[in-house]
Structure 1
Amino acid sequence: MQASRKSLEEINNTVSVNKEGKASQKLLSYLGPGLLVAVGYMDPGNWITSMQGGAQFGYTLLFVILLSSIAAMILQSMTVRLGIATGDDLAQATSRYLNKPLAFVFWIIAELAIIATDIAEVIGSAIALDLLFNIPLIVGAIITVLDVFLLLFIMRFGFRKIEAIVGVLIFTVLVIFVFEVFVASPHVNAMLEGFLPSKTIITNHSILFIALGIVGATIMPHNLYLHSSIVQSRMYDRNKEESKAEAIKYAIMDSNIQLGIAFIINCLLLVLGAALFYGMDSDKLGGFYDLYNALHHQPLLGATMGAVMSTLFAIALLASGQNSTITGTIAGQIVMEGFINLRLPNWLRRLVTRGLAILPIILCLIIYKGSEAKMEELLVFSQVFLSIALPFTLIPLQLATNNRKMMGKFKNKIWINIVSWSLIIILSILNIYLIYETFQEL
């Protein structure tokens, strides 16, 4: 199952970098891959888990977002080092490291994780289309198949243009939510206390379920595959250690800056859910429709401003779904090429992935007669699955980046090993506990 080509060959080593300028100029030339990775940390899956977490449990789960974001920065920095130091992406490294049967199992899990990610994108986009244009959910889900043609059109302009488009959409989402949280007037002291750990996150099954959904939506498996490949788009010298070291330095800075923005947006989502819904009948609140309606009918805003606020929210949701479509497609290509060395036309790869994602959504809509609540429940379950699939991505990442033969001087430091193995063990234990508790209640 060894890959015989460069990772994402069409963009590998195609974006020039500033090699002689000041540090700030060099950083600017490396900014971009982190934007595409950050998209996965603020997709519709994050929206629903963060908003439901805020609606049901107030600001308690801000600590989980903080912890997840710090862990994400560490893990993404590991993928950066892997991609630049070895020239392999994580899928290629995994297929080289494991025997063929085991690598095949890991490939299937990676593909399922990408489908779960795509489910969130489809649901988010379909709901946004319904909110903006009153398009039925099942029609909106089918319309999202056309995303493939939009992506193919954008990719014709080059990878740097894709990064710029994604950056503009992220900035748009950030501005919208800063404004909307300001209007929602959250309790600042309670919000700050939410960044402190609480034992109820572990002891309360309902909180744990949402917490794992937040982890699954924050640290996403496909992002680890994605980042290890797209950092290789920059034109650093592949044969010089000092050039690789500089590329790693600036790529990690890019990653941390963009993930910092994603952290802020995720906190804003949870704070918005808590400020508007906490203390109410939270079992019936915290979804996209609830937030849209609450903004639309907010007494402090008035009819006109309420309509503007709710429309901005729906536009941000649609932008988020489209952003995630771009990165999900690229990650799917990396996984398929890296694990089984199979290259498909981008449009065919996208149609297959999107078709597999739409199927459970359509079945859910038919069975539950177009229930909006059931759609949002399916989205939360998709994020919990991502959390369960995460260790199958983290273990190969840890083993590969700690292999001196592969990494050379860029091998993991001791503290990185401690943190990554702790994440793997803790997350696995929590997942087993959650599955056991869920079956006990059936």
Structure 2
Amino acid sequence: MIKKLTSYFGPGTFVAAAFIGPGTITICSIAGVKFGTDLIWALVLSILATIVLQNMSARIGLVTQKDLGTAMRHVVRHPVLKSILMFLVVVAIVFGNAAYEAGNISGAVMGFSVIYADTLVSIGGFQLDYLPLLIGVICFFILNMNSYKKIENVLIVLVVLMSLSFLTTAIITQPSYLALLQGVFLFNMPSESLTTVLAIVGTTIVPYNLFLHSSIVQEKWNGVKALSAAKWDSAIAIGLGGIVSIAVVVAASRLPKAELLSILDMAETLEPLYGVYAKYLLGFGFFAAGITSTLTAALAAAYVLKGCLGWKIAKSHPKFKWTWRGILFLGVFFSSLGINPIELIQIAQVSNAILLPFIAILLLAIVSNQKLMGEFKNTWLQNAVGILIVLFCLFLSFKSFFMMYSS
């Protein structure tokens, strides 16, 4: 079964596993409760933009045999500009992922608590939640296998199960398929929905995925012969991730219009309306989303540091291992102590949103570079689409910055 699944999915699964995390599920839930299916168009456009950018990233990895960080170091020649760029990328993504990791692990804990709530133990008068530590240990052993194939297999199984959980939940709620189609094609923008639209885009087009994808395609394939396979892999896996996000919006749109603060609120509302199975499906899906994002965020941080600092090392090198271990440890630490990671995550989201257009511009510059890409450089049409995405990312960047600091 797993062998058959791996023949259809590859590195694109890492990208889908990364952006379908607790943050995305929560944002999609809020979008569904507040605005019904009106904002599904924003998800569709975000997914299409993600597929385009991730395909460019994968092409860089396969054609140049360099990860995105290394390619950027090659394109940006000025030593001062190069140092500033690498510093900003490392701070925004590596430290940002440390903040996200706390949210990912807390999200996995929250999903598990929907199924089994009693995860606290008393030690010397203190109450400690052991589940973050257990999740951290599980993720540690998966990543410590140091095998792309084994990690890929784990992610494929989790992503497929997560997808089935959310799709089944959406079907159980008996949605209006006419409203679903209207949400895709009518581009409705209800009042006070701009913040949610920005959040949808920001949690789907993730900068660190661009670095991750350019690295892991080299683990799966060797050279330009795999370009077609990589293109289909990205479209299928990321498209599946988009369907999961839409399923969450659809399920949430069937709930009474109420304040939704977490997945627990959604699960508790689902149970009396659609039965206990809907609650458990949602809880498992959220748990799986937390696990997959925990794995990919830690791994992506290590790849970013490796490329941006010019480390000529393998994944088995202590520097690489201790990077993802450090990110994982920080996530477990903050989650175990019950420290609310929301402020850290907000800072990480702002820094990533500001960084995204600049990463996208450099990505376009690299895939348009004749010397690096040869006959596989961008066509004028690919550049035109890329420029439109960059302009949209700039809009997102400025809006995110001003909305964060004006609140």
TM bucket, shorter chain:
0.7 to 0.9
* Distance in 1 between residues matched to 2:40 and 2:344, nearest whole Å: 23
Tell me if the contact between 1:82 and 1:401 (Cα under 8 Å) persists in the aligned partners: yes
What aligned pairs does 1:216-365 form with structure 2 within 5 A after superposition? 216-236=202-222, 238=223, 244=224, 246-277=225-256, 280-281=257-258, 284-285=259-260, 287-298=262-273, 301=274, 306-342=275-311, 344-345=318-319, 348-357=322-331
Cα separation, 1, equivalents of 2:58 and 2:376: 10
1:27-66 CA distances to partner (integer Å, 9 max, x unpaired)?
9657321112211231111101111111111111100000
* Structure 2: runs of 5+ lacking an equivalent: 77-81, 122-126, 312-316
Q: Which moved more, 1:192-201 or 1:392-401?
A: 192-201
Alpha carbons of structure 1 residues 89 and 434: separation in structure 2 relative to 1, 3 Å: closer
Cα drift, residue 135 of structure 1: 2.8
1:396 corresponding residue in structure 2: 362
Distance 2:141 2:250 in 1: 36
Count of equivalent residues: 387
Counterpart Cα distance in 2 of 1:44 and 1:326: 13
- Cα 1:218/1:430, change in 2 over 3 Å: closer
Distance, in Å, in 1 between the alignment partners of 2:321 and 2:207 is 22
How far residue 122 of structure 1 moved from its aligned partner, in angstroms, is 2.1
Of the three residues 416, 422, 425, the one matched with 2:382 is 416
Please report how far the alpha carbon of residue 353 of structure 1 lies from its aligned counterpart in structure 2 after TM superposition: 1.6
Closer/same/farther in 2, CA of residues 268 and 381 from structure 1, 3 Å limit: farther
Secondary structure of the residue that 1:276 maps to in structure 2?
A: coil
How much has 1:382 moved relative to structure 2?
5.3
Cα pair distance change 1:178/1:43, threshold 3 Å: same
User: Could you say what secondary structure the match of 1:133 adopts?
Assistant: coil
CA pair 101-379 structure 1, distance change in 2 beyond 3 A: closer
Using the TM superposition, give the Cα deviation of residue 119 of structure 1 relative to its aligned residue in structure 2, in angstroms.
Answer: 3.6
Does the 8 Å contact 1:55/1:286 carry over to 2? Answer: no
Give 1:344 shift. 3.9
For the Cα contact (< 8 Å) 1:208–1:434, is it kept in 2?
no
1:341 partner SS: coil
Please provide the CA RMSD for this pair: 2.9
Q: More deviation in 191-200 or 36-45?
A: 191-200
Selected match of 2:49 from 66, 71, 91: 71
Q: Distance in 1 between matches of 2:99 and 2:369?
A: 30
Assess if the C-alpha contact under 8 Å between 1:60 and 1:198 holds in 2.
yes
Using the size of structure 1 for normalisation, the TM-score is: 0.79
User: Secondary structure at the residue paired with 1:153?
Assistant: helix
Deviation sequence 1:63-102 (CA, Å, 0-9, x none): 0000001111111110111000101111111223232233
Alignment counterpart, residue 387 of structure 1, candidates 337, 353, 358: 353
* Native 8 Å contact 2:180 2:250 kept in 1: yes
Q: Which stretch shifts more, 335-344 or 40-49?
A: 335-344
Shift of 1:261: 0.9
CA positional deviation for 1:157: 7.5
What percentage of residue pairs aligned between the two structures are identical?
A: 27
- The counterpart of 1:118, out of the listed 101, 107, 112, is 101
**Structure 2 residue corresponding to 1:407, chosen from 368, 373, 376:** 373
Q: How many angstroms does 1:218 deviate by?
A: 0.8
TM-score (norm 2): 0.85
Q: Report deviation, 1:351.
A: 3.8
Question: 1:180 aligned to 169, 179, 197, which one?
Answer: 169
Amino acid at match of 2:203: A
Alignment check: 8 A CA contact 1:149 1:347 kept: no
Pairing 1:57–2:35 present: yes
Question: Do the aligned partners of 2:334 and 2:341 also contact (CA within 8 Å) in 1?
Answer: no
- Could you tell me how far apart the structure 2 residues matched to 1:129 and 1:169 are? 14
Could you tell me which runs of 5 or more consecutive residues in structure 1 were left unpaired when the two chains were aligned.
1-24, 239-243, 367-373
C-alpha displacement of 1:254: 0.9
